[in-house]
Structure 1
Amino acid sequence: MMEQLRPAELADWLIAHGPRQPLVLDVREPWELRVASVSADGFELATIPMGELPARLDELDPSRPVACLCHHGMRSLHVAAFLVQRGFACVANISGGIDAWSQERDPGVPRY
């Protein structure tokens, strides 16, 4: 099952899916990560560009809660659907992406 959540809702989602530490999967490109990145706060952060994910899928645990993040939420939506199709038990898309993250969760994250 895939959930949609806003960055402002992430803290509650993290609590609801404990005690196993959830993973935030940032699927943006390396140049985007250099422009703006999130800090892991109450979650582990992994960065795997969307195009590399099929080849690196074994780096992720299908039983662990995963919230996918990109720039505006479209790439992460596709990745979240991909993970669900591959048997991941708990997947969320962070709608609005890092752009919304900057507005709702951490204004110190640059917008681009």
Structure 2
Amino acid sequence: MIPQVRPTDFDTWVQAQDGRPLVLDVREPWELQVASVAPGDFDLLAIPMNQVPARMGELPQSRAIACLCHHGVRSHRVALFLAQQGYADVANIAGGIEAWARERDPSVPQY
């Protein structure tokens, strides 16, 4: 079971992690140009969903990873994939960047 973290609960999730977590944005480059989150108490890495298997070397297994996409579907699939590959601390940002814009940061454009 992949934990689902709402954007309103994201700070609590970050604080519960051992070390600095990573947000993995799995959206396409054009989507990142439209809307993106700004790193704060977390690092941000953008890898499109279809490139994740080939670029897993960029994802440290020792860090907590929260996956992000537009609505939360692609990111949930990536989180499941990472868990199947042995990543122990993986979560999905429920509702994606759309929910992030509504619940956490209204300056993030919706598309």
**TM-score normalized with structure 1 length:** 0.97
Q: Quick one: distance in 2 between partners of 1:58 and 1:2?
A: 21
Q: 1:40 and 1:63 mapped to 2: Cα distance?
A: 19
Once residues 56 and 104 of structure 1 are traced to their aligned partners in structure 2, the CA distance between those partners, rounded to angstroms, is 31
- 1:31 corresponds to: 30
- Provide the alpha-carbon RMSD of the alignment: 0.8
Q: Secondary structure, in 3 states, of the residue corresponding to 1:2?
A: coil
Q: Is the 8 A contact 1:7 1:100 kept in 2?
A: yes
Counterparts of 1:34-49 in structure 2, within 5 Å, are: 34-49=33-48
Q: What letter corresponds to residue 33 of structure 1 in structure 2?
A: L
- Per the alignment, residue 14 of structure 1 pairs with 14
Displacement of 1:2 after TM fit? 2.2
Amino acid of the residue matched to residue 99 of structure 2? A
Runs (4+) of structure 1 exceeding 6 A deviation are none
**Which residue of structure 1 aligns with residue 95 of structure 2?**
96
> Which amino acid in structure 2 is aligned with residue 13 of structure 1?
W
Superposed, which structure 2 residues align to 1:56-95 within 5 Å? 56-95=55-94
Using the TM superposition, give the Cα deviation of residue 103 of structure 1 relative to its aligned residue in structure 2, in angstroms. 0.5
CA shift at 1:61, angstroms? 0.6
Give TM-score scaled by structure 2 length. Answer: 0.97
User: Equivalents in 2 of 1:63, 1:83: separation in Å?
Assistant: 12
Tell me the CA shift for residue 6 of structure 1.
Answer: 0.5
- 1:5 is matched by which residue type in structure 2? V
Deviation, structure 1 residue 27: 0.3
